[in-house]
Structure 1
């Protein structure tokens, strides 16, 4: 937690603080190791949490999960965290910022020509907040998340690493409009890897099979004299939409290439 005790801490200042949390130097970290493969073949490697504001753990050790989403069989594979100490609290005109970061690598299993690609990555999180006492809309709580993804492998083969546009989401509540005790909040962030490949004109057969992920999470509590602001993260899930597929035989790819060359040559002769 980073606490301040200025008498005035505006909403714009809070938003600025939320955006600047990502570059904080990492003060402490915990490595939870590797998880998986989780059915139908997704592994999460070097799962590490860190914080530049608070002692860790904030997220705690994750539990891998796999489920079938209707209409099936559509799999969802991921990691489920149950945070117990990821909070921000302030009272009497103070403010508090808690920042956490997760780093990990996602890998799709490859067995011969059978591969499991990662179609999309998402996070969902939630918890509760409390805003009570005498004050105005300047007493508030905020939660935010940013997900950055770097692709390092497509269709089971390494590629020159490239970063996708970061995705983010945030929610905020203030004493005047949303005051209360133990009120629920939630947010979600989605990175559609397949759609991003298409938008970047990246060729693929099945999709991304390895990617590095960085998630920055922030909670902010801002109070006024006579008010209390508190927000806690109590659930945090990282999920993927796996995409099983089959790569063509190397000979098939060669024949397809020759066929395309033949079509191109025939087209040029026709034009001439």
Structure 2
């Protein structure tokens, strides 16, 4: 196989797979994607069935990113004819009187309402009783309230990775999995060497979507970034109420209280999911 490409993308999880796809629309066969594990592995941040997508944000910078994100996913769906985005509506719930308000910043219902109002995003402000009436799956207390945004939902994360990669391959990109990268070394004059277990590849540019493995690859270049990994634990809760907790009847949700949680309807597993 060829060893010189315009661009090499290292790490083919959620971000890397998306980068590979969008670059393939411009570069075609002059693009290489490298993954140290097998395609679709479960050792990174992009496995599992669902990730929340939402216009309900508490800062303008995220609100401004959200709308193009929806458009990008819908474009991928149109090209692949694969369903990836599932709209359920979404609740942001706050419990009052249990948080240190000096540390909350805009991450409260006022922050969400203000950000959505500034950007013209429709929402409803709901009391605990209104939430409980509309969705009896919830049991909010009197010191809790919520905002509801109808465009919220989730993206099928694992399927999204595989769809991006399949479309990139269809546009000519080369994919190498089970190929650990040992080092990334700039050579000057617009040239970067990528040393792997299968040999050295060369490119004008390299995109690294490599998470906690980044610094190991950059060590030879004398670059170390302030990165650290955390474990995000999610739990599935089995329920006999499958219809009531299905995506048609149960919204994605976020809870801000003494502790923060988020959750999903039944999808992928016969259970609701909370993290």
Normalised to the residue count of structure 2, the TM-score between the two structures is 0.21
Determine which structure has the larger strand proportion and give its number.
1
- The structure in which a higher percent of residues are helix is 2
Larger radius of gyration: 1
